[in-house]
Amino acid sequence: MQSELFQTHEEDSRIWKISELNSSIRKVLEKNFKQVWIRGEISNLKAHSSGHYYFQLKDSQAQLKAVLFRGDARNMHHPPQEGSQYLAFGDVTVYEPRGDCQIRVRHLMEDGVGNLRLEFERLKSLFEKEGLFDPAKKKDIPLFPIRIGLITSPEGAAIHDFLSILQRRKWKGEVFLYPSLVQGPLAPAKLIQSLRTISQINPSLDLIVLSRGGGSVEDLWAFNDEKLVREISVSQIPIISAVGHQTDFVLSDFVADLRAETPSAAAELISSLQLVQIEKFSTLKHRIDEVKSQFLQMLNDQIELLNAKVKVCSPIHKIERRIQQIDDLETRLITSTKRILDKNSVKLHYLANRLEGCSLQNTLDKGFAFIRDRNGDAVKDGKNLLRGDKVSVIFRDGKRAMTAD
């Protein structure tokens, strides 16, 4: 009979390796028990040097091993405490080497805080279904916000950090403070009142910043208020939610048009937007100046070209050209005439000198005499004179009458 049972077992079932079985169990658990909430008391807590936490969560009837890795532990405001009641959120799995069923904890909070977390998840799910968190409904943050409404406590560190960063980064604009409670049961109503005041008396603001510093879940709970979330959703002015620290999330973060991790981050974002726009404007102005200069130069070149064409085609230009030609001819005529006159003057001077050398007075000065007959004709040969002819002899110093012998 045992042989028959063994035979049946071999025919109907496979023989599992332990590692295979543990792996299969893990996959089944992770598929069906993913992202679950459990409540229990921490026991056997061990803080590893790596920063991980190993412990058990137990109630009056059972216990379950748990592990909280360092990355998720950083999100806790306080480390887990032995013997305290906690609400844990995570995935049920199997640690295969030992076959231990355990929960990999993603979030761990004290039981009282856990109730707030459940309310947070309920409201978050409600608003998501209503479409309040729809990205398509979010308004664009102005690229160059100049007038900003700041809703925060006038005595907290948030306002000091916010304004200091704007001043340090030389932000140019106006900040209008709307003081409000940011903690406690009266805070939601005060925050709503500030939003409504802005919409009524200062609707021209470019941006609203809803801000407070860090704190516990209870401290930040005012920003999870249902009425406040709905008031933010209907604001006509873009809103930045800057509440708590980097790891803190409130419902105003989801409904606002933009979430800033901290009030300081909001100030840095706003000033950065302005610096980016100033740089863009500067670059654009430089480019416009370049294009303007190039255009003016091109226009000036075209004007000069047109002026040149007009001058070439204009009658005035032709007249001016003729006048210039006449002036040139006149200059050439004067130059040529002067050259001719100078040449003839030299020649005339030469002839005058020669003529002067052949003059009667010059001849007489050389010791010669000039003889004329009675008719006044020059006597060139002595044979033409007869004895007794009357002649006139001209000497250098005068004329003498003589008779030929």
Tokens linked to 73? 């532990």
Q: What is the pLDDT of residue 134?
A: 93
* CA 281 to centroid of chain Cα atoms: 6
- Burial of residue 58 (CB within 10 Å: 0-12, 13-18, 19+) is middle
- Taking a C-beta distance cutoff of 8 angstroms, is the pair 37, 118 a contact? yes
Q: Give the integer Cα–Cα distance in Å for 77 and 80.
A: 10
Phi, psi of 184 (to 5 degrees): 105, 175
pLDDT of residue 275: 58
Measured CA to CA, the distance from residue 290 to residue 331 in angstroms comes to 50
Q: What domains sit in the chain, N to C, each tagged with a CATH number?
A: 2-127 (2.40.50.140), 140-275 (3.40.50.261), 360-403 (no CATH)
Residues β-bridged to residue 243: 212
Given strand 258-259, what is the order of strands in its sheet? 174-179, 147-152, 207-212, 239-243, 258-259
Which pLDDT score, from 0 to 100, does residue 4 have? 53
Number of neighbours of residue 10 by Cβ within 10 angstroms: 10
| 260: CB partners within 8 A, 6+ apart | 209, 240, 241, 242, 266, 269
Across the beta sheet with 398-403, the strand order is 370-372, 390-395, 398-403
400 forms beta bridges with 393
pTM for the structure as a whole: 0.48
Residue that has been written with the tokens 């990355």 in this structure? 71
Identity of the amino acid at 279: E
pLDDT of residue 135: 93
3-class state of residue 401 by DSSP: strand
How many other CB atoms sit within 10 Å of the CB of residue 223? 27
User: Tens of pLDDT along the chain (405 residues)?
Assistant: 445 544 544 555 788 999 999 999 999 998 999 889 999 999 999 999 999 999 999 988 999 999 999 988 888 878 898 888 888 999 999 999 999 999 999 988 877 665 777 788 889 999 999 999 999 999 998 888 889 999 999 988 889 999 999 898 888 889 999 999 999 999 999 999 999 999 898 888 999 999 999 888 888 999 999 999 999 999 999 999 999 888 788 999 999 999 999 999 999 888 887 656 566 666 677 788 788 888 888 888 888 887 777 666 667 667 767 778 788 888 888 888 888 888 888 888 877 777 776 677 777 777 777 777 777 777 777 777 777 777 787 777 877 777 767
**CA–CA separation, 276 vs 282, rounded Å?**
10
Lookup result for tokens 């295969």: 96
The Cα 65–Cα 44 span in angstroms is: 9
| Residue-wise burial string across 85-115, b where 16 or more C-beta atoms lie within 10 A, e elsewhere | ebbbbbebbbeeeeeeebbbbebbbbeebbe
Q: Which residues contact 145 (CB under 8 A, 6 or more apart)?
A: 173, 206, 207, 270, 273, 274
Rama region for 367: left / alpha / beta (φ>0; ψ in -120 to 50; rest) = left
Output the CA torsion 135→136→139→140 (10° steps). Answer: 80
